[in-house]
């Protein structure tokens, strides 16, 4: 059986904000052809993030107006509360935020718009498609084997490969790019639906405990996400990923338990998601670059994820445009340096955040961060 082979200049693995931003940059500012491989069917729930208004500058660069997005894509956030470092509630801005006005993203609406723009500008998107194998050929091109559940296997030949697979950094891992892990933070959470006839303000609540901290946010479609962040070893030792333990702990929160009074649980059992801080090295391999969470991933407390995903994507796209013309590996080295600088800066900010909580001095989670 002959396997169908397609060619492209750039193959982007991952169709989230990083992957689509890289695609849009390339489509806007170069002649490169672009393909995106997304393994999901875009039907999974993506947790919205708190973003700063500087995101609109990046969108402008990607030639998308704020008004192009559906109404409700960006919800101004207000009245955010934190029990962080004190038994008295304070506003989160006073503790964490570097910039002033912040927004809550509707990730469905936001991500869909970006994907649609990629398609509209001539990018090819393969949803529900998995990458089975990456082969770096002698002519410095990539041969990637892909598989779609109905169309079967096919091959793409690409001059350049981008890892935009998020925290998993699956491409990095498969081709052996080194990465450094700073912590093993994970979120254990559940979704709740606000009952008919009840209303809740679009706000966020943060509360610490000896194991880590709780995050509670109202999402745009009348759902609430509640997550307990802690380290993997602590989660496993105290069985924080079991329904019973998780709900018991939830009952000992100050404010969050009240937020969930008029809700129905949407998750049969609590889910676990990776939220670790780590950095990968993109300069490791020719004609390869990692962007977004795959390049470096941040503690969600920093609200840096989406901003970095999109800005690193734009930077990477600029480098790829030049590299496709002149093949100068130094540029990737300078990209990697920028990523590292940004990461060091983030680590400082992270330390500042965690140092404001001194109440759990004997707890291993807080000791690790103070």
Partner 1 sequence: MNLKISPSVGVARLGNSPQQFCLSPDTIGGLPFEADAFGNKKGTIIQFKDDSGQVRRQGQLFKIFNEDGTEITLESTNVNSIVWTAHLANKKAAWYQYSELEGNLLYGNENSYSNRKVPFRNPEITDEKNRQQLIIDPGPRTISGVRQSIGFDENNVPAGYPSSYPPNEVDYGSSITTLGDLLTDDEGRLIVLGGYGHAGGNEPLTSYGGSNTWHDDISDGPVYCTITFNDNTPTVELQAWVIVGSPDFAPEIVNISTLSDSMFDVGVRKFNLVPEMFADGDYLPSYVANYQRDILPIIKRLGAYQWVSNVQSMMAFTSNVFDFSDPSETNKANRTNYFSYFRKANDKLNPSPNQPQEKLFKENGSDIFPMMPLNSGSNSVSNETIEKFLALNETQLFLFEQWVNGNFVNNPQFTPYAISEIDMASVGNCVGLPMCPGIEVTWSLQNENIYSAPYIISDQKGKNGYNTTGLTPSRDECEGGGCEPGDLTKRMACPWQADFFQCTIQYINFSDPEINKDTRLQTDTLVTKKTWQQSGAEYSSTEVTTTESKEPLPPSYYTYWWPPQSPWDVLSGELTLEKQQESYLPAGQQMNYARGINSFTQMVEHWSALAFIRNNNAQDQGFPYFTETERNNELFSFKEVGIGTISGNSEDNETTIPVFFIEENSEKIKEKSERAKKMVAFLEKRAFKSIKISGKTLGTPRSGTRSRR
Q: Please give the residue ranges that form the binding site for partner 1 (CB under 8 A).
A: 1-2, 4, 6, 35, 41-43, 108, 112, 115-116, 119, 124-128, 148-154, 221, 266, 268-269
Q: Show the tokens assigned to 97.
A: 């935020």
Smallest gap, in angstroms, from Cβ of residue 74 to partner 1?
18
Q: Name which of 71 and 178 has its Cβ closer to partner 1.
A: 71
- How far apart CA 174 and CA 248 sit, in angstroms, is 39
Q: Name which of 149 and 178 has its Cβ closer to partner 1.
A: 149
Residue located via tokens 């990697």: 336
**Which positions ≥6 away from 233 have C-beta within 8 Å?**
184
Q: Name which of 239 and 327 has its Cβ closer to partner 1.
A: 239
How far is residue 315 from each of residues 195, 298, 322, 334, measured CA to CA in Å?
A: 44, 18, 11, 10
Smallest gap, in angstroms, from Cβ of residue 366 to partner 1?
27
Q: At what angle do helices 305-326 and 330-355 cross, to 10 degrees?
A: 170
Q: Name which of 191 and 215 has its Cβ closer to partner 1.
A: 191
Q: Name which of 79 and 152 has its Cβ closer to partner 1.
A: 152
Q: What is the 3-state secondary structure (H, E, C) of the chain?
A: CCCCEEEEEEEEECCCHHHHHHHHHHHHHCCCCEEEECCCCCCCCCCCCEEECCHHHHHHHCCCCHHHCCCCCEEECCCCEEECCCCCCEEHHHHCCCCCCEEEECHHHHHHHHHHHHHHCCCEEECCCEEEEEEECCCCCEEEEEEECCCEEEEEEEEEEEECCHHHCHHHHHHCCCEEECCCEEEEEEEEEECCCCCCCCCEEEEEECCEEEEEEECCCCEEEEEEEEEHHHHHHCCCCCHHHHHHHHHCCCCHHHHCCCEEECCCCCEEEECCCEEECHHHCCCEEECHHHCEECCHHHCCHHHHHHHHHHHHHHHHHHHHHHCCCHHHHHHHHHHHHHHHHHHHHHHHHHHCCCCCCCCHHHHHHC
Q: Name which of 269 and 351 has its Cβ closer to partner 1.
A: 269
Q: Name which of 222 and 359 has its Cβ closer to partner 1.
A: 222
Q: What are phi and psi of 89, to 5 degrees?
A: -65, 140
Smallest gap, in angstroms, from Cβ of residue 347 to partner 1?
32
Smallest gap, in angstroms, from Cβ of residue 116 to partner 1?
7
Q: Name which of 98 and 132 has its Cβ closer to partner 1.
A: 132
**264 has which bridge partners?**
193
Smallest gap, in angstroms, from Cβ of residue 227 to partner 1?
18
Smallest gap, in angstroms, from Cβ of residue 303 to partner 1?
25
Smallest gap, in angstroms, from Cβ of residue 112 to partner 1?
6
Smallest gap, in angstroms, from Cβ of residue 236 to partner 1?
10
Smallest gap, in angstroms, from Cβ of residue 124 to partner 1?
5
Q: Name which of 106 and 357 has its Cβ closer to partner 1.
A: 106
Q: Name which of 237 and 328 has its Cβ closer to partner 1.
A: 237
Smallest gap, in angstroms, from Cβ of residue 42 to partner 1?
4
């Amino acid at each position: 059986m002959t396997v169908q082979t397609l060619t492209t200049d750039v193959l982007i693995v991952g169709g989230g904000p990083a992957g689509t931003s890289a695609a849009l940059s390339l489509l806007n500012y170069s002649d490169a052809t672009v393909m995106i491989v997304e393994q999901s069917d875009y039907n999974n729930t993506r947790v919205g993030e708190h973003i700063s208004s500087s995101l609109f500058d990046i969108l402008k660069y990607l030639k998308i107006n704020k008004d192009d997005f559906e109404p409700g894509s960006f919800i101004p956030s207000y009245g955010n509360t934190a029990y962080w470092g004190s038994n008295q509630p304070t506003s989160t801005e006073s503790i964490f935020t570097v910039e002033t006005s912040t927004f809550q993203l509707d990730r469905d609406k936001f991500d869909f718009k970006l994907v649609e723009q990629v398609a509209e500008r001539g990018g090819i998107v393969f949803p529900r498609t998995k990458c089975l194998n990456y082969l770096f050929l002698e002519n410095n091109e990539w041969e990637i084997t892909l598989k779609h559940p109905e169309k079967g296997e096919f091959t793409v030949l690409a001059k350049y490969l981008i890892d935009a697979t998020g925290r998993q950094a699956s491409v990095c891992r498969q081709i052996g790019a080194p990465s450094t892990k700073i912590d093993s933070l994970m979120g254990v959470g559940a979704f709740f639906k606000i009952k008919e006839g009840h209303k809740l303000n679009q706000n966020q609540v943060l509360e610490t405990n000896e194991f880590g901290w709780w995050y509670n946010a109202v999402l745009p479609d009348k759902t609430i996400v509640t997550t307990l962040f802690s380290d993997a070893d602590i989660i496993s030792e105290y069985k924080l990923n079991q329904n019973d333990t998780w709900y018991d702990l939830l009952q000992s929160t100050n404010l969050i338990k009240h937020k969930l009074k008029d809700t129905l649980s949407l998750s049969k059992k609590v889910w676990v998601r990776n939220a670790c801080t780590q950095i990968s090295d993109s300069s490791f391999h020719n004609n390869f670059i990692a962007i977004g969470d795959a390049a470096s991933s941040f503690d969600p407390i920093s609200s840096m994820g989406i901003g970095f995903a999109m800005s690193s994507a734009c930077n990477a796209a600029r480098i790829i445009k030049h590299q496709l013309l002149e093949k100068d590996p130094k540029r990737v080295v300078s990209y990697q340096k920028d990523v590292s600088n940004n990461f060091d800066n983030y680590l400082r900010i992270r330390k500042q955040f965690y140092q404001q909580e001194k109440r759990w001095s004997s707890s291993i989670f807080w000791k690790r961060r103070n």
